Amino acid sequence: MSEPMLSQEVQNCYQQAAMDQAQVAWRQMKWAVVLGARIYLDGDQWCVLHGDNMMTGIFGCGDTPEKAIEDFELAMRTAVPAQHPTGDTDATR
């Protein structure tokens, strides 16, 4: 193998390693990881839960662990309607 071709292969390996490292760093920044959420299988669905239960905690589910984490991430970004003393909810306040 010629020297320039070997150099290109080494450069490609370094680039792939850098991309792999960036993907790992991105996954580690997910809320499910940061919060230490519990990931478990419930029937045929994967679930991610942070808190005591799915009604009072933050919850996501999906066909795969990754889809469950994506659903959990969406729940983290979804505003909860404010609860007013009258019992009414209003997401605009």
Over the stretch 45-58, which tens digit does the pLDDT of each residue have? 999 999 999 888 99
Structure tokens at 52: 């005591």
Measured at the alpha carbon of residue 69, what is the angle toward residues 65 and 74, in degrees to the nearest 5?
A: 150
Over the stretch 1-28, which tens digit does the pLDDT of each residue have? 555 666 888 888 888 887 877 776 666 6
Is the model's pLDDT at 81 over the cut of 60? yes
Higher pLDDT, 91 or 67: 67
Backbone angles phi, psi at 8, to 5 degrees: -65, -40
